[in-house]
Amino acid sequence: MRPKTVTPAGIWGTGIYLPPRVLTNRDLEKMVDTSDEWILTRTGIRERRIAEEGQAASDLAVPAARQALAEAGVAAGELDLIIVATNSPDMLFPATACLVQHALGAVRAGAFDLQAGCTAFIYALACGAQFIATGTARWVLVIGTEVLSRLVNWQDRNTCVLFGDGAGAAVLGPVPEGYGILATRLGAEGAGAHLLSLPAGLSRHPASPETLAKGMHYIHMNGREVFKFAVKVMEEGFAEVLEAAGLSPEQVDFFIPHQANTRIIEAAAKRMNLPREKVWVNLDRYGNTSAATIPVALHEAVKAGRIKDGDRVALMAFGAGLTWGGMVLRWYDPRKENHIAREGEDGHYPHEAV
């Protein structure tokens, strides 16, 4: 049976984890034929975080998830579903989400991974929201986590300077009508799949001495063509998702773009008529953390007080596939007095408001 009503879904809490090791542009000058000026002027990146030896995607995901759960006031045992958005999982199978589920003790939760390039976190949010909307789940944990430093060729200056490691998480739950996710648009242009890929290691090109010799187990990217795609879909996707939400660009209070290149962000913001103070940029500190860029930036913006209860927040990303995704939310702060007046006896926030 279909539910009589659709339950709105919003974000109750966020969390992040960034490895402590910092790799600066000056460090890269000693490793590959590049320079701080070359990297900075072409990408906007000054430094990035690199996972410690032995750290995998799940190791970064778990502390981010714990922080998000604590901020949401939700126990791991209450989770109904865990979705991990990643392009650098611990292994092909089992799903990294299952490893996270075990580490958190989320024994009631289903768990699966979602792979959609750098757009994966928005895809995962949209997916998780559907479970809440239909009443299949109440609490969904969505995590974007990447250890891309394991997948880059550190001799290729065109790609190794771009990526970093990190994780961001969000707890989705039911929110009052008019709050939470207002609109989502997801898209793909599979004709451009070859422009950004990791070609070898699976069924198309199984691992062999030849694939290793050709460096086919590393990220391959046509930067110029991906740049052109990104600028186009950031503008067009933004317009499409705003129309679906019934909003004009002037009504957007804050914009969280995928952190891939400052030139892409600046070009997109200009075309969208968004002033710089409405756009969050942390690319200079973390580089491109792929599926983790949106949740990390979102968490930082909320903590900095740039996103407040009732604000209309737009998210936009693009990535391998080629994929793109946009989402508009009306931010929900569960601790705001007019939503919830007190904590429950068990220390969790009660849910009568929803």
Catalytic residue among 127, 258, 261, 299: 258
| Alpha helices, DSSP H, located in the chain | 25-29, 36-43, 57-72, 96-104, 120-133, 157-160, 209-213, 223-245, 262-271, 283-286, 293-303
CATH H-level, domain 181-330: superfamily: Thiolase/Chalcone synthase (3.40.47.10)
Q: What is the CATH number of domain 9-178?
A: 3.40.47.10
Confidence of residue 340 (pLDDT cuts 50, 70, 90): low
Catalytic residue among 118, 127, 160, 299: 118
Is residue 153 part of the annotated active site? The answer reads no
Q: Do domains 9-178 and 181-330 have the same CATH topology?
A: yes
What are the angstrom distances between the C-alpha of 235 and each of 87, 242, 297, 343? 25, 11, 19, 42
What percentage of the chain reaches a pLDDT higher than 70?
Answer: 94
Residue 137, pLDDT above cutoff 50: yes
Confidence of residue 335 (pLDDT cuts 50, 70, 90): confident
pTM of the model: 0.94
Residue type present at position 36: D
Is residue 127 part of the annotated active site? The answer reads no
Which residue is it, tokens 């604000």?
311
**What are 249-277's pLDDT values in tens digits?**
999 999 999 999 999 999 989 988 899 99
Domains of the chain, residue spans: 9-178, 181-330
**What are 55-77's pLDDT values in tens digits?**
999 999 999 999 999 999 999 99
Asked whether 73 and 349 are in contact (CB, 8 A), the reply is yes
Is residue 160 part of the annotated active site? The answer reads no
Report how far residue 157's alpha carbon sits from residue 142's, in angstroms, rounded to the nearest whole number.
32
